[in-house]
Every structure is written in structure tokens, then in C-alpha cells.
């Protein structure tokens, strides 16, 4: 597939989302969406993220329904290992009391991990399949069919995840401290004098907003760079397989680490928000 484009066109094609928008009341795609404003849907990001989320729920639910108290199957043992791993981290990190944190942490870890693992799929496979579907199913030019299969390389998705965490941070802060306590936390720290209220407010607001921003940009930056390297390796041609294999082996360690970091930072931020002092 790389031979059909120049290197620049090939990279741009693989880094472009399948976009859908409304232009003059009609549904339009990609090139027709340029200049259409804010409301542009990244169809591939939504499809893959929702699909992988459903896969996670179905798999864990099916294993839970078949779980036994006797000798577990390998699948049950694997799921129990994941659940125990997440639960141990929540127990040691979250110092408040909430029945939401452990399921939330499990969902974040497994869901982000599944989305990250899409990075190991060879970069030409899914776009080529999408191109054939577009060509033979809808009569489209394959060059006009786009497919980004790694949802976490889309800044919209990582910011959406981070915004969900940010809303929970605000919820737990107000729940534990009350509105007056939360306002006091923003205005009377780190300098406990009324004359420093403007300075305190600026410092604490920047700290508060930096949490979701760092969550979103860290995950996006690492996965985007990883995907870009896979794409660059694919432009080499016949000699790409050894490099692709080496980079994929390295990423078997990196991809779970990024999911773990996102989960742990979420737990830490919610733990800090739950402190009532």
C-alpha cells in the first residue's frame, strides 16, 4: 500500500481519521468536512473505542457468570489476576471510601489497554480492508477511505477520558469538603492569608486543570509517537519486518505501562480529591 503514495501522502493518509459531518443538512465525509466547524465526528475512533469497550464488558461478564469456587479455568484465573492486580493498587492508593473507584480503575485499565493494543496490528491491514469495503461496497475511491484503528492516537478520545476523570475529581472534592470547603481549598492554599486569595486561586486552578491535561496529553503523545514510528517503518518496504517485530516486542511492555499510568494517576487524583482536610 505504501507504494501507491509518496511517503508524505502515505503518512498523512494513515494519520487521518475517518470523519463525518453535516454540510448543508447532508452527511459528508473527510475532505467535504474541511471548514465545517466544531461538530466533526471521528467515526473510526468512536467505532473502535465503543467496540473494544463492549468486548471488555462481554468478556468479563461471561467469565464472571461461569466462575466457580473450585479449580478455576485458565480464563477465569487470568481475569481474577487482573481484578486482584487492580484491587491491590486501589487499596494501597485510594484512602477514601467509595464503591466506585475499583470498578472505575478496572474499566480504565482494561479499556485503555485494549485500545493501546490495536497499535500492534500492522498499519496497512485495517486501512486496506476499509479501502476495499469502500470501493466494492460503496463505489468510493480507496484513497478517500480513511481508517485509524488506534483510538488513543486521537486527542479527542484521550481528552474525553480525561474530562470524565476531571468531573469525578470535582464531584469528590465537593462531596467530601462541601462547596464552601472546596472554594476555601482553592483560595486559601498554599498561603493561608486573605491577601493571597488571588495568587492562591490562580495557583490552585492551574494545578487542578493540569491534571486532566497531563492525563490526556501523556497517553496521546506516547501512542501517537508509537503509531508514527510503525508507519515510518512500513515505508521501508521489504525490510520492514525485522524492525516492525523489534518495535512491536518493545511495545508489548510500553502499551500496558501507559494504561497502568493512566489508571494510577486517576486513582491518585481521586484520592486527593476525597481527602476531607
Residue located via cell numbers 469538603: 177
**CA–CA dist 153, 216 (Å, integer):** 10
As a whole number of angstroms, the distance between CA 209 and CA 194 comes to 23
Cell of 33: 468536512
Active-site residue list: 214, 218, 222
Q: Which helix (H) or strand (E) holds 164?
A: helix 155-187
- The strand order across the sheet containing 26-29 reads 26-29, 19-23, 41-42
12-16: which pairs have CB atoms within 8 A and are 24 or more residues apart? 13/127, 13/143, 13/146, 14/123, 14/127, 14/148, 14/227, 14/231, 15/148, 15/153, 15/227, 15/228, 15/231, 16/146, 16/148
Amino acid at each position: 500500500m505504501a507504494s501507491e503514495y509518496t511517503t508524505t501522502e502515505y503518512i498523512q493518509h494513515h494519520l487521518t481519521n475517518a470523519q463525518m459531518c453535516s454540510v448543508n443538512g447532508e452527511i459528508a465525509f473527510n475532505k467535504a468536512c474541511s471548514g465545517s466547524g466544531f461538530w466533526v465526528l471521528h467515526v473510526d475512533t468512536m467505532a473502535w473505542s465503543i467496540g473494544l469497550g463492549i468486548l471488555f464488558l462481554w468478556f468479563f461478564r461471561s467469565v464472571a457468570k461461569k466462575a466457580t469456587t473450585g479449580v478455576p479455568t485458565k480464563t477465569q484465573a487470568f481475569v481474577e489476576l487482573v481484578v486482584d492486580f487492580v484491587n491491590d493498587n486501589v487499596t494501597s492508593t485510594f484512602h477514601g471510601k467509595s464503591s466506585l473507584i475499583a470498578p472505575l480503575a478496572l474499566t480504565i485499565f482494561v479499556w485503555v489497554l485494549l485500545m493501546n493494543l490495536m497499535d500492534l496490528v500492522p498499519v496497512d491491514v485495517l486501512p486496506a480492508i476499509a479501502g476495499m469495503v469502500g470501493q466494492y461496497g460503496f463505489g468510493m475511491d480507496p484513497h478517500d477511505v480513511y481508517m485509524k484503528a488506534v483510538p488513543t492516537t486521537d486527542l479527542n478520545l484521550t481528552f474525553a477520558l480525561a474530562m470524565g476523570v476531571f468531573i469525578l475529581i470535582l464531584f469528590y472534592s465537593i462531596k467530601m469538603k462541601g462547596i464552601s470547603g472546596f472554594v476555601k481549598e482553592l483560595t486559601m492554599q498554599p498561603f493561608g492569608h486573605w491577601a493571597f486569595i488571588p495568587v492562591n486561586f490562580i495557583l490552585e486552578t492551574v494545578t487542578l486543570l493540569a491534571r486532566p491535561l497531563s492525563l490526556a496529553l501523556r497517553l496521546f503523545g506516547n501512542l501517537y509517537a508509537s503509531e508514527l514510528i510503525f508507519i515510518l517503518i512500513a515505508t521501508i518496504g521489504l525490510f520492514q519486518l525485522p524492525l516492525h517485530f523489534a518495535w512491536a516486542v518493545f511495545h508489548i511492555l510500553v502499551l500496558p505501562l501507559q494504561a497502568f499510568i493512566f489508571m494510577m494517576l486517576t486513582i491518585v487524583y481521586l484520592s486527593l480529591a476525597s481527602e476531607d482536610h
